[in-house]
Amino acid sequence: MKSLVLTLLFVSITTLSFAQGTSYGVRGGLNVSNLDFDPDATFKNQHRYGFAFGGFVDFGISDNFSILTELQYSAEGGKDESLKADYIQMPIMARIGIGNKFTLGVGPMASLKTWANQDGFSTFTFSGVGGLEYMITDEFFIDARVHYGLSNILDEDLTDIEAKNTTFQFGFGIKI
């Protein structure tokens, strides 16, 4: 019984300490994405302009360090209809405050495709994400991120060609 009470007390204190620096919000943005093929594509591979939107939770660990988790929809891939790739993504970024207005973040991102099952794309992909955020006010911010694909987005059972997605994302958001 004593260990149960101590465990509950520890969990409560930990939860409260995280909750004190926790912020929530929504974010949207413009994507500029492209696919990098290996071997190089024999066709003209153009950038796709898309959008992203989602919600986030930023867990404040200290005054200058936090962990941001986000769930977002993101339209990526290439410009050609057969190369468009839309995802539900979950970036997790370790963030460091630089002064009062800027925050630098880096971390992994998992992506799950949102379209037809037999289309030649992998269901799950993995990327690295990095970004810079600027607080305009205490609630409003703008940011810029880059997602660099670490895994092949094409289904390896259907083709020997590899393609990795790279996306530049320019966003804005509000903390609530």
Asked if residue 26 is part of any domain, the answer here is yes
Pairwise CA distance, residues 84 & 111, whole Å: 14
Asked if residue 12 is part of any domain, the answer here is no
> For residue 41, what pLDDT is reported?
66
Asked if residue 15 is part of any domain, the answer here is no
Asked if residue 2 is part of any domain, the answer here is no
Asked if residue 31 is part of any domain, the answer here is yes
Domain that holds residue 132: 22-175
Pairwise CA distance, residues 89 & 105, whole Å: 16
Closest CA to 88 of 112, 68, 123, 53: 112
What's the pLDDT tens digit per position in 18-47? 445 899 999 999 999 988 888 776 667 788
Asked if residue 5 is part of any domain, the answer here is no
Q: How many domains does the chain have?
A: 1
What's the pLDDT tens digit per position in 40-71? 766 677 889 999 999 999 999 998 999 999 99
What's the pLDDT tens digit per position in 118-136? 567 788 999 999 999 999 9
State yes or no: pLDDT of 100 exceeds 60: yes
CA torsion sign for 85, 113, 141, 128 is negative
pTM over 0.85: no
Pairwise CA distance, residues 24 & 155, whole Å: 35
CATH no. for residue 101?
2.40.160.20
Asked if residue 11 is part of any domain, the answer here is no
Asked if residue 8 is part of any domain, the answer here is no
